[in-house]
Amino acid sequence: MTIKYPDVHVQLVGRDGNAFVILGLCQRAAQKAGLSKAEIDEFFKEAQSGDYDHLLDTCMKWFDVD
């Protein structure tokens, strides 16, 4: 699998596993890395288009996740 933004790191291990917390962590990491609002909105649309496992898969597809 090719990561869309391999330079954007998101630390999920040891964090609250709540979906909203995960989305917030990804959003902050993306903003810090300088991704555009349009790109972040695209991530949110994809991440929220399925169940919890889809959310995690999307995070791993878009970002470097631990």
Domain ranges of the chain: 5-65
Q: What is the pLDDT of residue 32?
A: 97
pTM of the model: 0.92
23 Cβ contact list (under 8 Å, min separation 6): 44, 47, 48, 55
User: How much is the pLDDT for 20?
Assistant: 95
Reading the chain (66 residues) residue by residue, the pLDDT tens digits are: 799 999 999 999 988 889 999 999 999 999 999 999 999 999 999 999 999 999 999 999 999 999
